Structure 1
Amino acid sequence: MTDDGVRLDIVPPDYAAGAPLPWWAKLASKLAIAALRLPRAPLRRAGVNRHSFVAEAESRVLGEPMAHVARFTALHGRAPRGVLEIGPGRLVARAPAYAALGCGPIFFADVEDDAPEDPAAYARVAGLARAAGLPAPALDGVASREAALAACGARQLIGGTEVLAAIPDASIDLVISDVVLEHVRRDALPGLLAELRRVSSPASLGVHAVDFHDHVGGALNTLRFPPRFWEGGLVGRSGLYVNRLGLSQILAAFAEAGFATRMRDLRRWPAPPAGAGAAHPSLGRDAEDDRVAFARFEAVPG
């Protein structure tokens, strides 16, 4: 922990390395699958391009919302009202937790619908919240996911940045993104952050976690590729796309959108990993960014 309250960790060289295969083999296999243009739904059911975290864990569906709400409450003396999660995937199941914590309205914005369809998933989280002493909505016996979300005052928004137009100006107190921003197209990030600034209330708190390693071995090997290839449709369909922005570039984009940021958690490699020294010159990365594997920071209206 640094003097200014930032948790600082040094990660091992094989941090987030994944399966013990060469990075180029992982890349080639994912690109080959993407070239087949198979429907996404069967691939997801087969475990291809699905989030690797355990979305059903109590710590994820209840513990993290409780921590986010507690942080906002510590800053402002009240619970947040409007909540927006960007790219939650299956963590839409958090809706009963936020409702039990007194939040609402609750929005989950994602480019595709990967939320649990079984209403029992939402009833389970409501039960966990009640077991923790929280007044969760009664979801036992609800007939559909849509009914469960409605009972929580929650709504899904499926699509690109344009879906955020459904959220009124200055109505969101708490914005959450968890290893999502690195997957936003490089040219789309400014527009997304501008929309987040529009919907953020004067007291809003954003909590953003960003992975900076690549997804073919946990290093920086995909920095090698020119934008004309990396920003193309094949990489986008492969599930490997990251925008290759470094931490300083991400923070600069937040500042440009009208946010002030403060670091909370920083994980660094002991030395720049493979690929750092071979970055395509058009990326314009700061050398210091090449040691940053992960960061969590807060964003507030500037």
Structure 2
Amino acid sequence: MIATAPAGYAAGAPLPWWVKVAVKLATAAVHLPRDGLRRLGLNRHTFIADDPDRLVDEPARHVARFRALTGRAPRSVLEIGPGRMVARAAAYAALGCEQIWFADVEDDAPTDVAAYQRVAALAAERGLPAPDLSGAGTRDAALAACGARLLIGPDALAAIPDGAVDLVISDVVLEHVRRDALPGLLAALARVSAPGGLGRHAIDFHDHVGGALNTLRFSPGFWESAWVGRSGLYVNRMGLGAMVAAFQAAGFAAEVTERLVWPGAPPGAAKIHASLHATPAEDRVAFARVETRR
């Protein structure tokens, strides 16, 4: 499926892109505590969503896609970089997943049990056999009742056995993985994926300071620095073709099933740093979904 990005797609706050970059870099330069920034709603590595579609219906679409391709429901699911979407544990359990893993570099999951109970209630409203979380007093208890585990840290996937995962999900996560770390992550996903397993990866290819390509102006030496990494600005600036090639190098067959294309050259497209011009222009899409199979 190919669609055209609407006007103002992912534009964010109505400020010039360079102002947003400057604010982010200034914040990183003074080393403000990350927890404090998050309480202010800044530098979260994923957005907060309280939408029933994202909490229940989106997991249902992932499971339905797996069933359409394999003829059965997935017994196990892994979501990479879920942030607050860990609350979807109850939805995956209601959809028949017996083993659920969430893996993230930091713990941004809700600690309030009510978040998980709400998802269970939404699943029940849709006629799904939701887990009973009424007796769960802690987040860990709620996750256990769903058959779910939250794994935190750069080596989180090491806790998952080889070939244990039927369905792997990432939702606008892979573009934030550093270029030099992406091959290792995809190799780890290949290790834990079951033969015939399915990966569904939604990937943003625009910058995150206005929904354009302005951050492609910067040199790799600056952009790959720890300063940019701390700022929350970092995206790996890989084109769609490079991302598909990375999946293939890790041992996956990869198919682009959705792409959102720019209606014209987005801001920044004429100012791309010389070292990045090797990426074909047709790879510079705003968004794509890539499905992978072992």
Distance 1:38 1:54, change over 3 A: closer
SS of equivalent residue, structure 1 residue 207 = strand
Count of aligned pairs between the two proteins: 293
Structure 2: gaps (5+ residues) = none
User: How far apart in 2 are the matches of 1:236 and 1:26?
Assistant: 15
Q: Match of 1:106?
A: 100
2:12 is the counterpart of 1:18: yes
Q: Match of 1:295?
A: 288
User: How far apart in 2 are the matches of 1:173 and 1:147?
Assistant: 24
With structure 1 as the length reference, what TM-score do the two structures score?
0.94
User: How far apart in 2 are the matches of 1:190 and 1:53?
Assistant: 25
2:173 is the counterpart of 1:180: yes
Question: Displacement, 1:278?
Answer: 2.3
Paired residue for 2:80, among 86, 96, 102?
86
| Percentage of pairs with the same residue | 67
**CA-to-partner distance for each residue in 1:72-107, whole Å, 9 max, x for gaps?**
111111110111000000000000111111102111
User: How far apart in 2 are the matches of 1:52 and 1:300?
Assistant: 25
SS of equivalent residue, structure 1 residue 258 = coil
Q: CA contact under 8 A between 1:13 and 1:269: conserved in structure 2?
A: no
Q: CA contact under 8 A between 1:254 and 1:261: conserved in structure 2?
A: yes
User: How far apart in 2 are the matches of 1:52 and 1:82?
Assistant: 23
Q: CA contact under 8 A between 1:219 and 1:274: conserved in structure 2?
A: yes
2:60 is the counterpart of 1:66: yes
User: How far apart in 2 are the matches of 1:158 and 1:51?
Assistant: 14
Amino acid at match of 2:211: G
Paired residue for 1:195, among 188, 192, 197?
188
Question: Displacement, 1:52?
Answer: 7.0
Structure 1: gaps (5+ residues) = 1-6
2:195 is the counterpart of 1:206: no
Q: CA contact under 8 A between 1:120 and 1:140: conserved in structure 2?
A: no
Q: How does 1:201-280 map to 2 (within 5 A)?
A: 201-280=194-273
Greater shift, 270-279 or 19-28, is seen at 270-279
Amino acid at match of 1:224: R
User: How far apart in 2 are the matches of 1:266 and 1:50?
Assistant: 25
Q: Match of 2:130?
A: 136
Question: Displacement, 1:281?
Answer: 2.9
